[in-house]
């Protein structure tokens, strides 16, 4: 919405005062506006190919944020809203995501070794090619998430608990027998 409003304002301004004034106005927007636009609409945040080890993202609302190919070792995403976010090929060794919401997230080819995903929601998330060595998943809800067969076998060995928000049993959400 903010970007569209800026664009419409630029068109109206061009009709009124010409191209030189537009250039000055755009310069002003670029020096002051990006921070305001990100604060108002955090759903367009891009952290692709970033080094974000040990960063604290806890409690933040970052829907549709992109962390593809980023190093997020030991980052904290506890209680964060990450619906529709992209973590493809990210390094997430030791990350904490307790009580996070990653519904519809793309977390394919991600290393979740030693991560804590307890009580998080991963409904309809894509996990193909990801690894889960020593990962805590107690109470996590993986309803309709997509996994490789071997991933499911390994996760079912340690699946337990019920998600505190959805009421779904972790083993049931994974389809464990």
**pLDDT tens digits, one per residue of 57-102:** 999 999 999 999 999 999 999 999 999 999 999 999 999 999 999 9
**Cβ neighbours of residue 53 under 8 Å, at least 6 residues apart?**
71, 72, 73, 74, 75
Dump pLDDT digits (tens) for 111-134: 999 999 999 999 999 999 999 999
**pLDDT value of residue 33:** 39
**pLDDT value of residue 46:** 86
**pLDDT value of residue 45:** 84
Question: Nearest Cα to 102, choosing from 52, 25, 166?
Answer: 166
Residue 24 pLDDT exceeds 60: no
**pLDDT value of residue 35:** 38
Q: Are 58 and 76 in contact (CB under 8 A)?
A: yes
Mean pLDDT of the chain: 84
Round to whole Å and give the CA distance between 117 and 3: 35
Round to whole Å and give the CA distance between 119 and 35: 32
**pLDDT value of residue 5:** 52
């Amino acid at each position: 919405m903010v970007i569209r409003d800026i664009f419409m304002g630029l068109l109206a301004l061009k009709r009124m005062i010409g191209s030189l004034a537009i250039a000055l106005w755009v310069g002003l927007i670029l020096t002051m506006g990006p921070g305001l636009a990100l604060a108002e609409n955090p759903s367009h945040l891009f952290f692709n190919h970033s080094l974000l080890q040990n960063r604290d993202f806890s409690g933040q609302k970052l829907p549709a944020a992109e962390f593809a190919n980023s190093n997020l070792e030991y980052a904290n995403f506890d209680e964060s809203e990450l619906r529709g976010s992209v973590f493809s090929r990210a390094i997430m060794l030791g990350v904490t995501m307790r009580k996070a919401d990653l519904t519809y997230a793309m977390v394919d080819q991600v290393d979740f070794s030693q991560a804590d995903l307890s009580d998080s929601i991963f409904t309809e998330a894509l996990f193909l090619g990801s690894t889960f060595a020593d990962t805590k998943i107690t109470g996590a809800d993986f309803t309709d998430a997509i996994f490789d067969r071997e991933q499911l076998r390994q996760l079912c060995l340690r699946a337990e608990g019920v998600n505190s928000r959805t009421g779904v049993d972790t083993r049931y959400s994974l389809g464990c027998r």
